[in-house]
A = this chain, B = another copy of it.
Amino acid sequence: MDRNHALAAFAALSQPTRLDVFRLLLRAGVNGMAAGEIADALDVKQNTMSANLAVLHQAGLVRNQREGRSIRYFADLDGTRGLLGFLMEDCCGGNPDLCQPVISSIACAS
């Protein structure tokens, strides 16, 4: 993850529909959702959703996979990890004592 990838990812997440899509796909987990399902779930027109999915894909935040006539989308956790790592690396490198509480507070309460 370099600076330009990070910029693209943040831009992707700065739009309401796209943020909703990403969180929806996080919830969907390994099942993912077909493009049309996503559009229906969020009440967004098909071509608008297609464009927004393309932005998320380009940004490395979602993956997709053709499945018959549909294309199924998944949250890309590798890309997500890269983004968060990029954001926090400076903090962790220079000031781990300050950074650690940020990390630990978002750990899954398993």
Contacts and interface: CB of A to CB of B under 8 A. Distances in A.
13 contacts: A3-B19, A7-B15, A13-B14, A26-B88, A26-B99, A29-B91, A77-B91, A77-B99, A81-B106, A85-B105, A92-B108, A92-B109, A103-B108
Given A13-B87, A75-B91, A103-B103, 19 more contacts: A3-B16, A7-B19, A10-B19, A14-B14, A26-B90, A26-B94, A26-B99, A27-B91, A29-B94, A30-B98, A77-B91, A77-B101, A80-B102, A85-B105, A88-B106, A91-B108, A92-B108, A100-B110, A103-B108
Contacts of A3: 16, 19
A66 to B, nearest CB: 22
